């Protein structure tokens, strides 16, 4: 059976849990990380020397980094509707996944970790202000893209929508943000909220 190491409420773990249930896979999830077993434990570091979650164990295979795990699982299950085999279509999916990984990390740290939770060192006023402004700017990018199609790639739900769907959920969950009108983003959030797996792991009362 697949084993997923990482606390159930962690941002990157929740994305993988969402896909595991989308694919109908059996798995065991083990809580590692903040408030649970320490990822500094030598047993964990032997699997992932970076000490980060999630880590997926599939027999002897050890897979780390959430977006790598998403790609691995979709390929393992031949879920080509989610992760196309055709290279140009796949690139369109991966471009949005990488956009979230590279473009959303700092804005989320400022807006969420600093502005919403007040955690140091992200709670410096200039960093919070920058995070909120950049988060809003990037949600505007998504709103514009979603005005052209119901989902981010291939006109259907794909792996592109799992990382993006999470940052959209967090955008709508933060009480400290001022949000302008983004009708396409609103409709997208409603659309992915029709998925029981999204409600189970993402829109489940946690930001």
Instruction: Give dist(CA 42, CA 46) in Å, integer.
Output: 6
Contact criterion met (CB below 8 Å) for 169 and 203:
yes
pLDDT for 150-167, tens place per residue?
A: 999 999 999 999 999 999
Contact criterion met (CB below 8 Å) for 167 and 108:
yes
User: Cis peptide leading into 120, omega within 30 of 0?
Assistant: no
Q: What are the angstrom distances between the C-alpha of 77 and each of 20, 22, 62?
A: 10, 11, 17
Residue 90's pLDDT is: 98
Residue 108 and residue 60 share a domain: no
* β-pair type (55-58, 27-30): unpaired
Angle, vertex CA 85, rays to CA 83 and CA 88, nearest 5:
95
Residue 113 and residue 186 share a domain: yes
* 99 belongs to a structural domain: yes
Residue 21's pLDDT is: 98
Residue 35: pLDDT over 90: no
Residue 101 and residue 21 share a domain: no
- Residue 125 sits in a domain whose CATH number is 1.20.1050.10
Angle, helices 125-146 vs 161-173, to 10°: value is 130
pLDDT band with cut points at 50, 70 and 90 for residue 43: very high
Residue 17: pLDDT over 90: yes
* 163 belongs to a structural domain: yes
Does the pTM surpass 0.75? The reply is yes
* β-pair type (2-5, 27-30): parallel
Instruction: Give dist(CA 143, CA 187) in Å, integer.
Output: 9
pLDDT band with cut points at 50, 70 and 90 for residue 62: very high
Domain boundary among 19, 46, 76: 76
Residue 176's pLDDT is: 86
- Residue ranges making up the domain that contains 50: 2-76
User: pLDDT averaged over the chain?
Assistant: 97
Percent share of the chain, pLDDT over 70: 100
3-state helix, strand, coil in the chain (%, to 5): 55, 10, 40
Residue 196 and residue 109 share a domain: yes
How many domains does one find in the chain?
Answer: 2
Average pLDDT of the segment spanning 25-52: 96
Residue 24 and residue 116 share a domain: no
* 113 belongs to a structural domain: yes
Instruction: Give dist(CA 19, CA 28) in Å, integer.
Output: 14
Residue 197 and residue 125 share a domain: yes
Longest dimension (CA), the chain: 49
pLDDT for 102-146, tens place per residue?
A: 999 999 999 999 999 999 999 999 999 999 999 999 999 999 999
What backbone torsions phi and psi does residue 55 show, to the nearest 5 degrees? -130, 135
Residue 123 and residue 180 share a domain: yes
């Amino acid at each position: 059976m697949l084993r997923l190491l990482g606390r159930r409420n962690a941002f990157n773990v929740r994305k993988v849990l969402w896909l595991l249930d989308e694919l109908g896979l059996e798995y065991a999830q083990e809580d590692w990380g903040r408030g649970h077993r320490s990822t500094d434990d030598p047993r964990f570091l032997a699997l992932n020397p970076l000490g980060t979650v999630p880590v997926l164990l599939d027999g002897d295979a050890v897979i780390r980094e959430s977006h790598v795990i998403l790609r691995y699982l979709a390929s393992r299950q031949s879920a080509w509707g989610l992760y196309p085999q055709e290279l140009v279509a796949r690139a369109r999916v991966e471009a949005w996944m990488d956009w979230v990984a590279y473009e959303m990390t700092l804005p989320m740290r400022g807006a969420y970790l600093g502005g919403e939770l007040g955690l140091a060192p992200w709670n410096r006023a200039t960093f919070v202000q920058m995070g909120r402004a950049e988060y809003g700017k990037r949600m505007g990018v998504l709103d514009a893209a979603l005005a052209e199609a119901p989902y981010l790639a291939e006109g259907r739900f794909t792996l592109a929508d799992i990382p993006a769907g999470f940052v959209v959920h967090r955008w709508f969950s933060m009480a400290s943000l001022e949000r302008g009108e983004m009708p396409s983003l609103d409709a997208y959030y409603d659309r992915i909220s029709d998925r029981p797996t999204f409600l189970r792991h993402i829109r489940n009362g946690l930001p």
